Amino acid sequence: MDKLLISERKAHVYLDTSVISYLDQEDSPEKMAETIEVWEILKRGVYDIFISTRVLDELNKCKEPKRTKLFSKLEEIHYTLLPIDDEVVKLANKFIEAGILKRKSVDDCQHIAAAILANCDIIVSWNFKHIFNYKTIRGVRSITVLDGYKDIWIYPPTALFEEV
């Protein structure tokens, strides 16, 4: 029997800021090592990578020399840069109005909204408090279903590990 071919296109993966930040996170050596391992996979072009201008804004807030190191790491991968436009802001506000996240987490809502509007398949994040948690995942899923958006998965970066 022939193998079932699920899809010819690469999975579209949105990286939130936490993934890039953990490339240089000395106070969390295990997550840093796992992120570096995932980064090597991303460098090979296995996935189509997306980040938003919100990611760049947040990276610009890092102190030196970390900021320079992280921007240098971004140069190692090919990615599509997504704008935080009116449509993203509108969808992000919908998450807040629905009580999925609080107003103080508007940046996290914008990450999620940008990924959804770009038809990404997965958001990867180390942000277990606001993005990768049951309440957020369930709430995002309810809005994507009700509003007719493509379903999106939210996982930690280690979900991108490949079998050897």
**Considering the chain, what is the average pLDDT of its residues?**
92
Extents of the domains making up the chain: 14-159
Q: Helix 106-117 and helix 86-97: axis angle, to 10°?
A: 120
Q: How high is the pLDDT of residue 163?
A: 52
| pLDDT tens-digit readout, 38-97 | 999 999 999 999 999 999 999 999 999 999 999 999 999 999 999 999 999 999 999 999
Confidence of residue 16 (pLDDT cuts 50, 70, 90): very high
Compute the average pLDDT of residues 126-139. Answer: 88
Q: How high is the pLDDT of residue 130?
A: 78
156 Rama sector, left if φ>0, alpha if ψ -120 to 50, beta otherwise: beta
Q: Rounded distance, CA 161 to CA 112, Å?
A: 22
CA atoms lying within 13 Å on the CB side of residue 35: 23
Instruction: Indicate if the pLDDT at residue 7 is higher than 90.
Output: no
Q: Are 59 and 91 in contact (CB under 8 A)?
A: no
- In which residue are the tokens 């997550």 written? 31
Specify the pTM. 0.91
The architecture CATH gives domain 14-159: 3-Layer(aba) Sandwich (3.40)
Q: Alpha carbon 106 to chain centroid distance?
A: 15
Q: How many other CB atoms are there within 10 angstroms of residue 109's CB atom?
A: 26
Of 8 and 108, more confident: 108
Instruction: Indicate if the pLDDT at residue 164 is higher than 50.
Output: no
Q: Rounded distance, CA 46 to CA 108, Å?
A: 25
Q: How high is the pLDDT of residue 128?
A: 83
